Amino acid sequence: MNFNQDDKLKLIARLTLAGSIRAKKNPKSVVPTRNFGGINPKTGKPYSRSWMFNFKGAGWQLASPKIVTEESYTKWQDSARTDALVHLYQRRFLKPTTKPVHVKMIAFYKGPKPDLSGSLESIGDCLQGVVWKDDSQIVSWDGSRLIHDVKNPRTEVTVWEEI
């Protein structure tokens, strides 16, 4: 790890989460909604249809995007949380830390390459309330990477807390 030498860190968890990591969001999970839902700030009333038609005629997209969590992500998250809870319970780590944490994630994936930032966000959300209380406690993701491994997809997560 490439931490500042002034940082005093304590290893609190080393987890292996089974299966290929799933990003919470991907371009296929963003769907347009039919309702623009815009409010005119001057009048405080919803925009009229004629205004929306002109807006659409100018080449702007009217539909407000809505992110739909994919079923494959939900299944992966449930499985990963269970793996983490079992592992941490066996080591008597019973309460999420409230201190700042440094995380290293190595995701061995099969299939198409997932987005690194999306994968980091998935781990942050997945282990929230399990290893750390809130994912805003994550100070760094040093050394995190994605590696293609068709035979043994998994995600290895190492967590240090500042002391």
- pLDDT tens-place string over residues 111-141: 888 889 889 999 999 999 999 999 999 999 9
Amino acid 3: pLDDT: 52
CA angle 69, 73, 77 (to 5 degrees): 120
What's the structural domain count of the chain?
A: 2
- Residue 54 shares a structural domain with residue 100: no
Q: Strand pairing partners for 31?
A: 66
Residues 133 and 151 in one domain: yes
Locus of tokens 């009333």? 45
Question: What does the alpha-carbon distance between residue 37 and residue 9 come to, in Å, rounded to a whole number?
Answer: 48
Q: Domain for residue 4, yes or no?
A: no
Q: Is the domain of 81 the same as that of 154?
A: yes
28-55, pLDDT tens digit by residue?
A: 544 544 444 556 667 766 655 544 444 5
Q: What mean pLDDT, rounded, does the chain reach?
A: 79
pLDDT computed for residue 15 by the predictor: 92
Range of the domain at 53: 30-66
Q: Does the predicted TM-score (pTM) go above 0.75?
A: no
Q: In terms of DSSP bridges, do strands 145-148 and 101-109 run parallel, antiparallel, or are they unpaired?
A: parallel
- Together in a domain, 19 and 36: no
Assess whether pLDDT exceeds 70 at residue 162. Answer: yes
> Is the same domain home to 80 and 117?
yes
For residues 154 and 98, state if they share a domain: yes
Residues 80 and 153 in one domain: yes
Domain identity same for 129 and 147: yes
Query: Looking at the structure, do residues 158 and 98 belong to the same domain, yes or no?
Result: yes
Name the DSSP letter for residue 126: H
- Give CA–CA dist 150/19, Å, rounded: 10
Q: How confident is the model at residue 18 (pLDDT cuts 50, 70, 90)?
A: very high
Q: Is residue 45 domain-shared with residue 122, that is, in the same domain?
A: no
